[in-house]
Amino acid sequence: MDTKKLTRMSMLLSISIVLGIIESFLPLFDGSIPGLKIGLANIVIIFTLYTYGLKEAILISIIRVFVIGLLRTGLFNYPFFFSLSGAFVSVVVMYLLKKIKIFSIVGISVCGALSHNLAQIFTSYFLLKVNSVFIYLPYLLIFSIPTGIIVGIVSKSLLKYYDFN
Amino acid sequence: MVKYIHQVGLVIMNKNDIKLIVVIFVIVTLSIIFINIFKKTGSFAKVYYEDDLILKIDLSKDGNYKVNGYNGEVLIEVKDNKIRVDRENSPRHLCSKQGFIDSTTQTIVCLPNKIIIKIEGKDQELDGVVK
Amino acid sequence: MKKLIIIFFVLIILCGCSKDNDIYEKNIYVMDTVINIKVYSEKDASDILEKIEELYNEYNILTDRYNSYDDTKNIYYINNILNVGEEVKLDYKLYDLINFSLEFSKKYDKVNIAMGNLIDVWKKYRDSASGIPSYEELNGISSISESDIILNDGNIIKLSDVKLDLGCIAKGYVTQLAGELLESNGFDKYIISAGGNIKVGKKYSSNPYKIGIQDPVDKNNIYKIVNVSNRSVVTSGGYERFYTWEGVDYSHIIDPDTLYPSNYMKSVTVIMEDSAYADFFSTYLFMIPISDGINFVNSNSNIEAIWYGLDGKIYTSSGFSNYE
């Protein structure tokens, strides 16, 4: 990887971390629906996916989860594994959908949000083994629509203005 | 109105996106309706024979239940979100004398019949209670 | 770059599996109550729980006042079959328990395990829920003196028709043994709940065990929640087994000095590590005025306590707030 790319990816990583931390201080609905967030960090992920590719997007996602784990949620505890699974699954899903070319970037962002939440809930079910985690599913899913749209629109604009290639 | 949203939507995204969103919306709405039909507020009571859970009772519905205790049948009554032992075979009938319980801090203990009735609710935070 | 990636994934795989604590639970029906034991452990605790059930059953038989068991010289035997002046060998478990209790009584003589004759008189009236024994009746009972019990090298002799009653201290003693058995077998996270007697080990999560203390006046309520680990919580109170005659409540804990049930408070709860001592001290504190009790506990760094007074006021020892 050349220096330019390394530098740019580091910046993207930092931005996604900062966005993630800011979000962690602004819980929606007083935290009554765990895992509900706007997903601003995903703007960076989508940007990376479209600018560089899958590998780079996965890298930034995973490192971001680790760093935020170090700083906010704690490493190797339940929230950490939920975030990790959500981040990983949503990047892969978005990459595959991008390849198939059915949806626009907004639609992909919505799917990214959807799969992120689905992955988190299923991971929490397997780790905690309680049925009650599924109660949050409808609310998380319905919120992935507006949050996905917003993130998608922002990403689209950013990609228009910043062409790293 | 719908057409307006449709047109705005097409500017932001493509047709497939819109279809996706509609589908998600429908699924979510249906599942919320579904969940609320089957939701039961109120707590449960658990009936144990020795260590085994033999019966789980929904306290929101009044009713009568029969379980087999060590000395014979034990009749359980649920009324107004409370539960009690109605009748049992035991020398001093201490079990039915305990009357109704309705909170998680209480337990009905029938030693001769080896039956325990506990209430499980939202306030599970206590590990134990000294009496 | 590649090296970093490899390191990260190796870390994930290595530390990925979080150790899970399973809960092993058992209910034991013994000593007129249900004892609930929960053990938090990665390894199977079923065997040790069986051993603990055996332990409780053994002591149940040994301390039983009302039933005889073949080949066992238990309390019933000592009280009803053993002749005055006759020396017999006791099972070492019962011997140790009686010895322990007598040693405690030497310092705190309100806790008397030889009050069988006195307790029986009050029990008679309590069961019929009417009347109280007369002055003559109380003074006419046979001995309640612990010095009539002689222990010698594994044997016991009684010098009179004194009757042993281990009711108020047996549960705490056995619960302490149960806790020690768990810990010596590598199970250090547990909670043993025996009605008014709870013993907990190391905490199983980031929070200590939350134990509620029942309100003696309103049994549906908890009047205090304490956070404990590696402690025993024991309550003595007059509100579970008592009867009322002519407007006065008579508890089941009898004061050996006045010959009447103690009535200084509604309940007292003791927190200390050893469950046997906790049981003894809760009985002791129930039988002395609250102010004396507070002074006693404050001068003893191992014990904390909370009292529920007759007037409804709550009193605590100086270090009790550590558990709130």
Does B51 lie in the same domain as B111? yes
pLDDT score of B37: 65
Does B53 lie in the same domain as B98? yes
pLDDT score of C17: 42
Chain-wide mean pLDDT for chain B? 80
pLDDT band of C14, cuts 50, 70, 90: very low
Contacts of C230 in chain B (CB under 8 A): none
Does B111 lie in the same domain as B61? yes
> With pLDDT > 90 as the criterion, what percentage of chain C qualifies?
66
Average pLDDT of the segment spanning A102-113 = 90
Minimum-distance CB partner of C5 among A6, A59, A81: A59
**DSSP class of C69:** B
> With pLDDT > 90 as the criterion, what percentage of chain B qualifies?
2
Q: In chain C, what are the domain boundaries?
A: 66-158, 207-324
Does B105 lie in the same domain as B84? yes
Q: Do A1 and C5 touch (CB under 8 A)?
A: no
Q: In chain A, what are the domain boundaries?
A: 3-161
Query: Please, are residues C314 and C307 in contact by the beta-carbon 8 Å criterion?
Result: yes
Distance between CA C137 and CA C130 in Å, rounded? Answer: 15
* pLDDT at A119 > cutoff 70: yes
Q: Is C205 on the interface with A (CB under 8 A)?
A: no
Instruction: Determine which helix (DSSP H) or strand (DSSP E) holds C104, and give its type and residue range.
Output: helix C92-107
Chain-wide mean pLDDT for chain C? 89
* pLDDT at B45 > cutoff 60: yes
Q: How far is CA C104 from CA A101, B35, C75, C91, in A?
A: 83, 61, 19, 20
Q: Around Cβ A83, how many Cβ atoms within 10 Å?
A: 25
Which tens digit of pLDDT belongs to each residue from C293-318? 999 999 999 999 999 999 999 999 99
Q: Distance from C235 to chain B by nearest Cα, in Å?
A: 6
- The number of folded domains in chain B is 2
Distance between CA A79 and CA A72 in Å, rounded? Answer: 10
Enumerate the H helices of C141-274 as residue ranges: 170-184
Minimum-distance CB partner of C18 among A59, A63, A76: A76
pLDDT score of C40: 92
Average pLDDT of the segment spanning A9-35 = 80
Which tens digit of pLDDT belongs to each residue from C42-65? 888 899 999 999 999 999 999 999
Four-residue CA torsion sign, B26, B31, B37, B39: negative
Q: Is C305 on the interface with B (CB under 8 A)?
A: no
Contacts of C15 in chain A (CB under 8 A): 76
pLDDT band of C18, cuts 50, 70, 90: very low
Q: In this structure, what is the dihedral angle of CA atoms B53, B57, B59, B64, given to the nearest 10 degrees?
A: -120
CATH C-level class of C207-324:
alpha beta
Distance between CA B28 and CA B13 in Å, rounded? Answer: 21
Say which residue the tokens 């971390």 belong to: A17
Minimum-distance CB partner of A103 among B14, B31, B32: B14
Q: Is C154 on the interface with B (CB under 8 A)?
A: no
pLDDT score of C316: 94
* pLDDT at B41 > cutoff 50: no
- Which 3 state secondary structure label does DSSP give C230? coil
Q: Which of C57, C62, C56, C149 is nearest to C99 (CA)?
A: C149
Does B90 lie in the same domain as B31? no
* pLDDT at C195 > cutoff 70: yes
Does B65 lie in the same domain as B25? no
Q: Do A138 and B28 touch (CB under 8 A)?
A: yes
* pLDDT at C10 > cutoff 60: no
Protein fold of A3-161: Arp2/3 complex 21 kDa subunit ARPC3 (1.10.1760)
For residue B36, the chain A residue with the least C-alpha distance is A135
Q: Which of A143, A97, A146, A138 is nearest to A121 (CA)?
A: A138
Average pLDDT of the segment spanning C118-135 = 88
Q: Do C235 and B114 touch (CB under 8 A)?
A: no
Return all residues near C230 (Cβ < 8 A) that are at least 6 apart.
Answer: C200, C201, C202, C273
Assess if residue B89 is contained within a domain. Answer: yes
Contacts A–C by Cβ distance under 8 A: 14
Average pLDDT of the segment spanning C206-217 = 88
Say which residue the tokens 């409804």 belong to: C312
Q: Do C18 and A62 touch (CB under 8 A)?
A: no
Exposed e or buried b per residue across A2-34, where buried means at least 16 C-beta atoms within 10 angstroms of its C-beta: eeeeeebbeebbebbbebbeebeeeeeeeeeee
Q: Which of C31, C161, C33, C149 is nearest to C100 (CA)?
A: C149
Q: Do A77 and C18 touch (CB under 8 A)?
A: yes
Does B114 lie in the same domain as B55? yes
Q: Distance from B15 to chain A by nearest Cα, in Å?
A: 8
Does B48 lie in the same domain as B109? yes
Exposed e or buried b per residue across B116-127, where buried means at least 16 C-beta atoms within 10 angstroms of its C-beta: bbbbeeeeeeeb
Q: Distance from B39 to chain C by nearest Cα, in Å?
A: 27
Average pLDDT of the segment spanning B90-112 = 77
Average pLDDT of the segment spanning C191-203 = 91
* pLDDT at C15 > cutoff 60: no
pLDDT score of B105: 63
Contacts of B27 in chain A (CB under 8 A): 141
Single-letter amino acid code for the residue at C252:
H
Query: What residues make up the domain containing B57?
Result: 44-120
Q: Distance from C40 to chain B by nearest Cα, in Å?
A: 12
Distance between CA C283 and CA C287 in Å, rounded? Answer: 7
